[in-house]
Amino acid sequence: MRAKITIIGAGFVGSTAAHWIASKELGDVVLLDIAEGIPQGKGLDLAESAPIEGFDLKIIGTNDYADTANSDVIVVTSGAPRKPGMTREDLIKINAKITRDCISKAAPLSPKAVIIMVNNPLDTMVYLARQVSGFPKERVIGQAGVLDAARYRTFIAMETGVSVEDIQAMLMGGHGDEMVPLPRFTTIGGIPVTDFIPAARLDEIVERARKGGGEIVNLLKTGSAYYAPAAATVQMVEAVVRDKNRVLPAACYLTGEYGLNDMYFGVPCVLGAGGVKKIIQLNLNNDEKALVAASAAAVKSSIEALKGMDLDA
């Protein structure tokens, strides 16, 4: 039996993720959105590409959560982007209301699903999703590290002129500005990246990766990144539905790992059927520990801001 994958949010990230899920034949796709006609139109359009591309599965667009019942994976991309003049707290409150609504409707219909959160602020929204769903921590995870690592690897490939396929990178921390690079765990063909790139230049590449989303927003003027975020999401979906046991950075709920408790934070993990199978604890040096602590403080602050909000106001 094919897996059933629900994507909540039929915007650019959601619809692009649906496209790649279909092309990889990872499972039947339900594309859900509150906007009438948008998910139905995009779902039908994608289904009509199947005879040409040669994938054979069921794709529907809907506004009805009943169509998502018994999903194996639920991906949540719905959320508002941060606009000029909007504070971090404004964004948290807006997207927290959206997240609570999505999860409260979808989770009871698919009690065995793995939930992958994509909306921002990522670590805070995945924390809320676990609270609302009541799911085990292993089955509620956030996508950010795969995207940040992909940007990091892309810029290293550009700098060195080697294939991105030969670049392996691991990082930790919150998404974007809170990203914690780990050059010691970054290699090109098994060779330390520091053998290819001087430390000062590598610092510049890391900073570009941190600001990767903002760079694209500035270029597009009226939108944000969606190809790479969608691809990163699909890599996680594939790891779950095909039980691939991939070692990937993801936002996981921590209960003492790295000295952190009651929070979601980007860490390396083993991802497969049922979600997170293992959190990998790296032996960090003092400099890396300091960066992790600073990132964790920023993430914790966002989660505490969420706890203090009245989402019904």
Which tens digit of pLDDT belongs to each residue from 202-242? 999 999 999 998 899 889 988 889 999 999 999 999 999 99
Choose among 138, 181, 208, 149: nearest CA to 284.
181
What band does 86 get if pLDDT is binned at 50, 70 and 90? low
Going from the C-alpha of 113 to that of each of 14, 71, 107, 116, 133, the distances in angstroms are 18, 6, 8, 10, 10
- Non-local (6+) Cβ contacts of 102 within 8 A are 8, 76, 78
CA distance linking residue 286 with residue 281, whole number of Å: 15
| Residue 87 predicted with pLDDT over 70 | no
Neighbours of 94 (CB within 10 A): 16
Both tokens of residue 58? 């069921």
Highest mean pLDDT among 72-81, 103-112, 118-127: 103-112
Which strand ranges, in their side-by-side order, compose the sheet holding 246-255?
59-62, 28-32, 4-8, 73-76, 114-117, 140-142, 246-255, 261-272, 275-279
Supply 221's token pair: 């003027």
Question: Which sign, positive or negative, has the C-alpha torsion 25, 223, 45, 116?
Answer: positive
The CB density around residue 258, as the number of other CB atoms within 10 Å, is 17
What pLDDT is stored for residue 85 in this prediction? 65
Q: Which two tokens stand for residue 31?
A: 């594309």
**Is residue 93 over pLDDT 80?**
yes
Sign of CA dihedral 239, 241, 245, 250: positive
Structure tokens at 20: 């790649």
Reported confidence tier of residue 97, pLDDT bands at 50, 70, 90:
very high
- Distance, in Å, from the CA atom of 108 to the CA atom of 56, rounded to the nearest integer, reads 28
Pairwise pLDDT comparison (218 vs 89), residue with the higher score: 218
Spatial CA neighbour of 29 closest among 64, 5, 61, 49: 5
The answer to whether residue 175 is catalytic is yes
Q: Could you read off the pLDDT of 39-50 as tens digits, one per residue?
A: 999 999 999 999
The pLDDT of residue 64 is above 80 = yes
Mapped onto helix, strand or coil, the DSSP state of residue 211 is coil
Count of C-beta atoms within a 10 Å radius of residue 306: 21
Amino acid identity, position 203: D
Q: What is the mean pLDDT of residues 93-107?
A: 96
Domains and CATH numbers, the chain: 4-142 (3.40.50.720), 145-307 (3.90.110.10)
Which of 130, 139, 153, 175 is catalytic? The answer is 175
Instruction: Quote the CA–CA distance of 99 and 62 in Å, as a whole number.
Output: 18
Is the CB of residue 139 less than 8 Å from the CB of residue 275?
yes
**pLDDT, mean over the chain:** 95
Q: Return d(Cα 284, Cα 147) in angstroms, integer.
A: 22
Lowest mean pLDDT, pick from 78-87, 132-141, 266-275, 293-302: 78-87
Max CA-CA distance within the chain? 55
